[in-house]
Structure 1
Amino acid sequence: MPYELYYWDGLQGRGEFVRLALEDAGAEYIDVARGAKKDGLGTEAMMKVMNSKTEAHIPFAPPFLKDGELIVPHVANILLYLGPKLGLAPKSENLRYVAHGLQLTIADVVAEVHDTHHPLATDLYYEDQKDAAKIRSQNFIEARIPKFFGYFERVLRQNPDGDTHMVGKATTYVDLSLFQLVDGLQYAFPRAMRKFGKHYPRVAALHDAVLERPNIALYVDSERRIPFNESGIFRHYPELDQDAK
């Protein structure tokens, strides 16, 4: 049976990190919320699972994955589960936990990206917190991007098995997720990311290497990939962008 991915229709968001792994592996999956209601799919089908009074392990929020009767929530948890099945995890059990730790660090960055445009409250519109968003974005560009990507650059430099892989000597879901993180930041903060490759050449090389993977290249150029937009996590508001120091 195909995997069932549950995430909001019209958004890349956190669901995209899971989609990239499924697409890279050529796995059969259903993007449930994007399906037709007549087929028993769509957003209502996702909400039905979340609001179920009979499911033993209901998820708090999307994304979550169904594999048969099993429901797996949270991006890092989903990828920890899918990685070995899709051939996108280290064979060493020890290194799988290293990969999981790196994925959790990427999740930390994603949360901070979200807070650049919603620094005060998720329930408020961006327009209600623009002044705070400018302060938060400036700090993110000047302090947090160097902090996180300096770390990722060091991880790549110190990997004994290859400097375009975060863990081991083969592509893992962590590499795909780092690609998505860089891609999203290039959309959200094009000015700040202008000299990214100069400051973080190994991360930039990893991004380009992932983009050259056949299934990823096909997916990125296909209609299956939802474009970045100002309803997702990575949003481009020109007033929040600035040149990095």
Structure 2
Amino acid sequence: MAYELYYWDGLQGRGEFVRLALEEAQADYVDVARGEKSAGLGIGAMISELDSRSGAYPPFAPPFLKDGDLLIPQTANILFYLGPKLSLAPRDEGLRYVANGLQMTIVDLVAEVHDTHHPIASGLYYEDQKHEAKARAADFLAHRMPKFLGYFERVLAQNPSGAQHMVGDALTYVDLSIFQIVEGLRYAFPKATNHLAERYPHVCALHDAVAVRPNIAAYLASPRRLPFNETGIFRHYPELDHATR
């Protein structure tokens, strides 16, 4: 049976980290919310699935994944589940927890990126918190982004198996997620990330290596890869972007 991925149509968001793993592994999956209503898919099908789980450990929000009767919520949790099945996790059990910890750190970074344009409330429009967003974005670019990327750079540099991968000596879902992080930051903050490769050479080299993997390159060139836009997590508002030292 095909995996069923439930995430909002029209934006990459947190669901994209799961899509990248499924696409790299050439797994059979259905992006439910993007399907046709006539086929029993679409946003309505996703909402119905959420409602039907009211008495059986319902997910808090998308993304969530169905594998037969099993339902797995939360991005890092989904990837922890899929990793071994898709040959995108270390074989060593201890390193699988390392990978999971790195993925949860990526989740933390994604939340901070979101808060650069919605620092007060997700329920408010960006225009309603624009002043506060400028202050939050400035702090993110000056302090938080370097802290996270510096950490990932250090993890790569200190990998006993070499700096080609975040964990172990083979591709994992964490590498794919680092690719998405770099892509998203470059879209949202082109000025601030102009010299990213100079400051974080291992991180950017990993990004570049993932981008040319045959399955990923084919996915990026296909209509399945949604473009970044101003409804997702990584948003480009020129007034929030500025060059950093």
Distance in 2 between the 1:57 and 1:49 partners?
Answer: 12
Which residue in the other structure is 1:141 paired with? 141
| Structure-2 change in CA distance of 1:39 and 1:129 (3 Å) | same
| Post-superposition CA distance 1:5-47 (Å, at most 9, x none) | 0000001000000000000000000000000000000000000
Which residue in the other structure is 2:209 paired with? 209
Which residue in the other structure is 1:83 paired with? 83
Which residue in the other structure is 2:25 paired with? 25
Distance in 2 between the 1:5 and 1:96 partners?
Answer: 22
CA contact (8 A) 1:164 1:203 kept: no
Distance in 2 between the 1:123 and 1:239 partners?
Answer: 21
Alpha-carbon distance, 1:223 to partner: 0.5
Which residue in the other structure is 1:97 paired with? 97
Which residue in the other structure is 1:170 paired with? 170
CA contact (8 A) 1:57 1:71 kept: no
The AA in structure 2 aligned to 1:74 is Q
Which residue in the other structure is 2:109 paired with? 109
The AA in structure 2 aligned to 1:160 is P
Alpha-carbon distance, 1:53 to partner: 5.2
The AA in structure 2 aligned to 1:135 is A
Q: Which portions of structure 1, spanning 4 or more consecutive aligned residues, are displaced by more than 2 angstroms? A: none
Alpha-carbon distance, 1:61 to partner: 0.3
| Structure-2 change in CA distance of 1:241 and 1:89 (3 Å) | same
Alpha-carbon distance, 1:57 to partner: 2.5
Alpha-carbon distance, 1:58 to partner: 1.4
* Superposed counterparts of 1:40-55, under 5 Å: 40-52=40-52
Distance in 1 between the 2:147 and 2:179 partners?
Answer: 17
Percent identical pairs in the alignment equals 67
| Post-superposition CA distance 1:78-125 (Å, at most 9, x none) | 000000000000000000000000000000000000000000000000
The AA in structure 2 aligned to 1:30 is V
Alpha-carbon distance, 1:132 to partner: 0.3
The AA in structure 2 aligned to 1:219 is Y
Distance in 2 between the 1:58 and 1:124 partners?
Answer: 26
Distance in 2 between the 1:41 and 1:162 partners?
Answer: 43
Unaligned runs of 5+ in 1: none
The alignment's C-alpha RMSD in Å is: 0.8
Alpha-carbon distance, 1:217 to partner: 0.4
Distance in 2 between the 1:164 and 1:107 partners?
Answer: 22
The AA in structure 2 aligned to 1:235 is R
TM-score by length of 1: 0.99
Distance in 2 between the 1:27 and 1:173 partners?
Answer: 14
TM-score by length of 2: 0.99
Q: Secondary structure at the match of 1:60?
A: coil
Distance in 1 between the 2:78 and 2:192 partners?
Answer: 31
Distance in 2 between the 1:213 and 1:54 partners?
Answer: 41
Alpha-carbon distance, 1:56 to partner: 1.8
